[in-house]
Amino acid sequence: MSALQLDRIPHHVAVIMDGNGRWAEARGMSRSEGHRAGVDAVRKVVRAADALGIEWLTLYAFSSENWNRPKDEVATLMQLPEEYFEEELPEAIERGTRILSIGNHDRLPPGTRRTLEKAIERTQDGPKMRLVFALSYGGRGEIVEAARRLLRDHEQGRIDPESLDEKTFAAYLDEPDMPDVDLLIRTGGESRISNFLLWKAAYAEILISDRLWPDFERKDLEQAICDYQKRERRYGLTSAQVRSGSK
Protein backbone atom coordinates (compact mmCIF):
# COMPACT_ATOMS: atom_id res chain seq x y z
CA MET A 1 0.00 0.00 0.00
CA SER A 2 1.36 3.43 -0.88
CA ALA A 3 1.35 6.00 1.90
CA LEU A 4 -1.90 7.51 3.03
CA GLN A 5 -1.90 11.30 2.75
CA LEU A 6 -3.35 12.46 6.04
CA ASP A 7 -3.98 15.96 4.71
CA ARG A 8 -6.23 14.57 1.94
CA ILE A 9 -8.68 12.43 3.86
CA PRO A 10 -12.17 12.41 2.26
CA HIS A 11 -14.61 14.51 4.29
CA HIS A 12 -17.54 12.15 3.87
CA VAL A 13 -17.14 8.40 3.58
CA ALA A 14 -20.28 6.29 3.14
CA VAL A 15 -20.31 2.51 3.38
CA ILE A 16 -22.71 -0.12 2.06
CA MET A 17 -21.90 -2.82 4.61
CA ASP A 18 -22.73 -5.89 2.56
CA GLY A 19 -21.79 -9.56 2.86
CA ASN A 20 -22.80 -10.56 6.41
CA GLY A 21 -25.03 -13.39 5.14
CA ARG A 22 -22.37 -14.87 2.86
CA TRP A 23 -19.77 -14.59 5.61
CA ALA A 24 -22.00 -16.62 7.94
CA GLU A 25 -23.04 -19.16 5.31
CA ALA A 26 -19.40 -19.88 4.50
CA ARG A 27 -18.91 -20.83 8.15
CA GLY A 28 -22.09 -22.88 8.50
CA MET A 29 -23.53 -20.19 10.75
CA SER A 30 -26.93 -18.49 10.62
CA ARG A 31 -27.34 -15.19 8.80
CA SER A 32 -28.12 -13.56 12.13
CA GLU A 33 -24.70 -14.60 13.42
CA GLY A 34 -23.25 -12.94 10.35
CA HIS A 35 -24.99 -9.71 11.31
CA ARG A 36 -23.58 -9.96 14.82
CA ALA A 37 -20.09 -10.33 13.38
CA GLY A 38 -20.93 -7.30 11.23
CA VAL A 39 -21.45 -5.21 14.36
CA ASP A 40 -17.87 -5.95 15.47
CA ALA A 41 -16.69 -4.66 12.11
CA VAL A 42 -18.75 -1.50 12.68
CA ARG A 43 -16.99 -0.93 15.99
CA LYS A 44 -13.56 -1.30 14.40
CA VAL A 45 -14.27 0.82 11.36
CA VAL A 46 -15.85 3.62 13.43
CA ARG A 47 -12.73 3.81 15.60
CA ALA A 48 -10.47 3.74 12.57
CA ALA A 49 -12.47 6.46 10.81
CA ASP A 50 -12.30 8.65 13.88
CA ALA A 51 -8.54 8.14 14.20
CA LEU A 52 -8.08 9.03 10.52
CA GLY A 53 -9.96 12.29 10.98
CA ILE A 54 -12.91 11.46 8.73
CA GLU A 55 -15.54 14.14 9.41
CA TRP A 56 -18.64 12.29 8.24
CA LEU A 57 -19.10 8.52 8.19
CA THR A 58 -22.43 7.19 6.95
CA LEU A 59 -23.16 3.49 7.40
CA TYR A 60 -25.93 1.72 5.51
CA ALA A 61 -27.26 -0.61 8.18
CA PHE A 62 -30.75 -1.50 6.93
CA SER A 63 -32.51 -0.55 3.71
CA SER A 64 -36.22 0.05 3.12
CA GLU A 65 -36.10 -3.09 0.98
CA ASN A 66 -34.56 -5.14 3.81
CA TRP A 67 -37.98 -5.09 5.54
CA ASN A 68 -38.93 -7.84 3.07
CA ARG A 69 -36.39 -10.30 4.54
CA PRO A 70 -37.49 -13.23 6.75
CA LYS A 71 -39.05 -12.10 10.01
CA ASP A 72 -36.41 -13.54 12.33
CA GLU A 73 -33.60 -11.92 10.38
CA VAL A 74 -35.37 -8.55 10.49
CA ALA A 75 -35.89 -9.02 14.24
CA THR A 76 -32.15 -9.59 14.77
CA LEU A 77 -31.27 -6.62 12.60
CA MET A 78 -33.58 -4.43 14.69
CA GLN A 79 -32.14 -5.76 17.94
CA LEU A 80 -28.52 -5.07 17.01
CA PRO A 81 -28.65 -1.26 17.10
CA GLU A 82 -29.92 -1.50 20.67
CA GLU A 83 -26.98 -3.68 21.68
CA TYR A 84 -24.53 -1.56 19.73
CA PHE A 85 -25.58 1.74 21.28
CA GLU A 86 -25.84 0.23 24.74
CA GLU A 87 -22.17 -0.71 24.55
CA GLU A 88 -20.75 2.05 22.39
CA LEU A 89 -22.54 5.16 23.60
CA PRO A 90 -20.17 5.98 26.49
CA GLU A 91 -17.16 5.74 24.19
CA ALA A 92 -18.88 7.80 21.49
CA ILE A 93 -19.62 10.53 24.02
CA GLU A 94 -16.04 10.46 25.26
CA ARG A 95 -14.67 10.65 21.71
CA GLY A 96 -16.95 13.58 20.92
CA THR A 97 -18.67 11.66 18.13
CA ARG A 98 -22.07 12.95 17.10
CA ILE A 99 -24.53 10.21 16.18
CA LEU A 100 -27.18 10.95 13.57
CA SER A 101 -29.60 8.88 11.57
CA ILE A 102 -31.36 8.98 8.23
CA GLY A 103 -34.30 6.87 7.11
CA ASN A 104 -37.89 6.21 8.03
CA HIS A 105 -37.90 5.91 11.83
CA ASP A 106 -41.67 5.46 11.98
CA ARG A 107 -41.21 1.87 10.85
CA LEU A 108 -38.67 0.98 13.56
CA PRO A 109 -39.81 -1.05 16.59
CA PRO A 110 -40.28 1.28 19.60
CA GLY A 111 -37.22 -0.09 21.47
CA THR A 112 -34.90 0.43 18.51
CA ARG A 113 -36.26 3.90 17.93
CA ARG A 114 -35.86 4.90 21.56
CA THR A 115 -32.23 3.74 21.72
CA LEU A 116 -31.44 5.54 18.51
CA GLU A 117 -33.10 8.74 19.69
CA LYS A 118 -31.25 8.51 22.99
CA ALA A 119 -27.92 8.07 21.18
CA ILE A 120 -28.68 11.07 18.96
CA GLU A 121 -29.71 13.21 21.90
CA ARG A 122 -26.85 12.25 24.20
CA THR A 123 -24.24 13.00 21.53
CA GLN A 124 -25.83 16.13 20.07
CA ASP A 125 -23.04 18.43 21.28
CA GLY A 126 -20.28 16.13 20.07
CA PRO A 127 -17.82 18.31 18.16
CA LYS A 128 -15.98 15.55 16.29
CA MET A 129 -16.96 12.93 13.73
CA ARG A 130 -20.56 12.75 12.49
CA LEU A 131 -21.56 9.11 12.52
CA VAL A 132 -24.74 8.60 10.53
CA PHE A 133 -26.72 5.37 10.59
CA ALA A 134 -28.93 4.80 7.57
CA LEU A 135 -31.61 2.67 9.12
CA SER A 136 -34.82 1.76 7.34
CA TYR A 137 -33.35 4.00 4.67
CA GLY A 138 -33.99 4.25 0.95
CA GLY A 139 -32.65 6.97 -1.34
CA ARG A 140 -35.87 7.28 -3.34
CA GLY A 141 -37.96 7.38 -0.18
CA GLU A 142 -35.75 10.15 1.19
CA ILE A 143 -36.27 12.23 -1.96
CA VAL A 144 -40.04 11.67 -1.88
CA GLU A 145 -40.11 12.65 1.80
CA ALA A 146 -38.15 15.82 0.95
CA ALA A 147 -40.71 16.61 -1.78
CA ARG A 148 -43.53 16.14 0.73
CA ARG A 149 -41.93 18.60 3.20
CA LEU A 150 -41.33 21.03 0.37
CA LEU A 151 -44.97 20.85 -0.77
CA ARG A 152 -46.14 21.51 2.78
CA ASP A 153 -43.91 24.59 2.94
CA HIS A 154 -45.30 25.67 -0.42
CA GLU A 155 -48.85 25.30 0.84
CA GLN A 156 -47.95 27.60 3.71
CA GLY A 157 -46.47 30.12 1.31
CA ARG A 158 -42.94 29.57 2.59
CA ILE A 159 -41.37 28.64 -0.71
CA ASP A 160 -41.53 30.19 -4.13
CA PRO A 161 -41.29 27.58 -6.93
CA GLU A 162 -39.22 29.98 -9.03
CA SER A 163 -36.53 30.16 -6.38
CA LEU A 164 -36.22 26.39 -6.02
CA ASP A 165 -32.77 25.13 -6.91
CA GLU A 166 -30.65 22.10 -5.94
CA LYS A 167 -29.38 23.74 -2.76
CA THR A 168 -32.87 24.70 -1.57
CA PHE A 169 -34.16 21.22 -2.35
CA ALA A 170 -31.26 19.50 -0.57
CA ALA A 171 -32.16 21.35 2.62
CA TYR A 172 -35.32 19.20 2.75
CA LEU A 173 -33.41 15.91 2.79
CA ASP A 174 -33.16 13.86 6.01
CA GLU A 175 -29.92 15.38 7.28
CA PRO A 176 -29.57 18.83 5.73
CA ASP A 177 -26.05 19.45 7.05
CA MET A 178 -24.67 16.28 5.49
CA PRO A 179 -22.14 17.09 2.76
CA ASP A 180 -21.94 15.22 -0.54
CA VAL A 181 -20.30 11.81 -0.33
CA ASP A 182 -16.64 11.83 -1.38
CA LEU A 183 -15.93 8.13 -1.11
CA LEU A 184 -18.58 5.41 -1.33
CA ILE A 185 -17.34 1.98 -0.31
CA ARG A 186 -19.35 -1.19 -0.92
CA THR A 187 -18.10 -4.41 0.61
CA GLY A 188 -19.16 -7.86 -0.55
CA GLY A 189 -18.15 -7.36 -4.17
CA GLU A 190 -21.45 -6.30 -5.78
CA SER A 191 -21.31 -3.27 -8.08
CA ARG A 192 -24.61 -1.62 -7.28
CA ILE A 193 -25.92 1.24 -5.21
CA SER A 194 -29.01 -0.54 -3.78
CA ASN A 195 -30.98 2.67 -3.19
CA PHE A 196 -28.32 4.31 -1.00
CA LEU A 197 -27.83 8.11 -0.85
CA LEU A 198 -29.06 8.75 -4.38
CA TRP A 199 -28.83 12.50 -4.01
CA LYS A 200 -25.66 12.93 -1.96
CA ALA A 201 -23.62 10.34 -3.85
CA ALA A 202 -24.10 12.10 -7.20
CA TYR A 203 -20.34 12.66 -7.58
CA ALA A 204 -18.96 10.14 -5.10
CA GLU A 205 -15.91 8.08 -5.99
CA ILE A 206 -17.08 4.47 -5.78
CA LEU A 207 -14.92 1.71 -4.44
CA ILE A 208 -16.07 -1.90 -4.47
CA SER A 209 -14.26 -4.20 -2.06
CA ASP A 210 -14.51 -7.97 -2.37
CA ARG A 211 -14.03 -8.28 1.38
CA LEU A 212 -17.23 -9.40 3.15
CA TRP A 213 -18.29 -6.81 5.71
CA PRO A 214 -17.42 -8.80 8.91
CA ASP A 215 -13.85 -9.14 7.56
CA PHE A 216 -13.46 -5.45 6.72
CA GLU A 217 -11.00 -3.70 8.99
CA ARG A 218 -8.86 -0.65 9.46
CA LYS A 219 -6.31 -1.58 6.82
CA ASP A 220 -9.09 -2.05 4.25
CA LEU A 221 -10.44 1.40 5.04
CA GLU A 222 -6.95 2.85 4.70
CA GLN A 223 -6.50 1.02 1.40
CA ALA A 224 -9.81 2.40 0.14
CA ILE A 225 -8.72 5.93 1.06
CA CYS A 226 -5.36 5.40 -0.65
CA ASP A 227 -7.17 4.34 -3.83
CA TYR A 228 -9.45 7.38 -3.51
CA GLN A 229 -6.43 9.65 -3.23
CA LYS A 230 -5.16 8.41 -6.59
CA ARG A 231 -8.37 9.30 -8.39
CA GLU A 232 -8.89 12.50 -10.33
CA ARG A 233 -12.29 14.01 -9.57
CA ARG A 234 -13.33 15.85 -12.69
CA TYR A 235 -16.93 16.97 -12.09
CA GLY A 236 -17.59 17.12 -15.80
CA LEU A 237 -14.42 19.05 -16.65
CA THR A 238 -11.54 17.85 -18.78
CA SER A 239 -8.43 16.52 -17.16
CA ALA A 240 -6.47 19.52 -18.42
CA GLN A 241 -8.95 21.89 -16.79
CA VAL A 242 -8.71 20.05 -13.49
CA ARG A 243 -4.93 20.13 -13.55
CA SER A 244 -4.85 23.84 -14.30
CA GLY A 245 -7.17 24.39 -11.35
CA SER A 246 -9.97 26.04 -13.36
CA LYS A 247 -13.49 25.84 -12.04
Among 10, 18, 54, 225, binds Mg ion (CB under 5 A): 18
CB nearer ligand IPE, residue 69 or residue 128: 69
Residue nearest to ligand IPE (CB): 21
CA 87 – CA 92 distance, rounded (Å): 10
Q: Provide the minimum distance between the beta carbon of 130 and ligand IPE in the complex, in angstroms, as a whole number.
A: 19
Active site residue 20: no
Q: For ligand IPE, give the closer residue by CB, 9 or 37.
A: 37
Min separation Cβ 53 and ligand IPE, Å: 25
194 binds, among Mg ion, ligand IPE, none (CB under 5 to 8 A by kind): ligand IPE
Of ligand IPE, Mg ion, none, which one does residue 84 interact with (CB within 5 to 8 Å by kind)?
A: none
Burial 149-183 (b: 16+ CB within 10 A, else e): ebeeeeeeeebeeeeeeeeeeeebbbbeebebbbb
> Which is closer to ligand IPE, CB of 62 or CB of 228?
62
C-alpha 160/C-alpha 205 separation (Å) is 34
CB atoms within 10 A of CB 147: 12
Binding site for ligand IPE (CB under 6 A): 16-22, 60-63, 65-66, 77, 188, 190, 192, 194
C-alpha–C-alpha distance, residues 195 and 3, integer Å: 33
**Range in contact with Mg ion (rule: CB under 5 A) among 14-22, 173-181, 228-236, 239-247:** 14-22
Active site residue 18: yes
How many residues bind to Mg ion according to rule CB under 5 A? 1
- Catalytic residue, from 66, 104, 180, 215: name it: 66
Q: H or E stretch including 186? A: strand 183-186
In 3D space, the residue among 109, 105, 101 whose CA is nearest the CA of residue 78 turns out to be 109
Q: Give the nearest distance from C-beta 20 to Mg ion in angstroms.
A: 7
| Closest CB to ligand IPE among residues 17, 150 | 17
Rounded CA-CA distance 222/125 in Å is 28
**Which string of DSSP letters, residue by residue, matches 71-135?**
HHHHHHHHHHHHHHHHHHHHHHHHHT-EEEEES-GGGS-HHHHHHHHHHHHHTTT--S-EEEEEE
Give the residue numbers marked as catalytic. 18, 66
Residues that bind Mg ion (CB under 5 A): 18
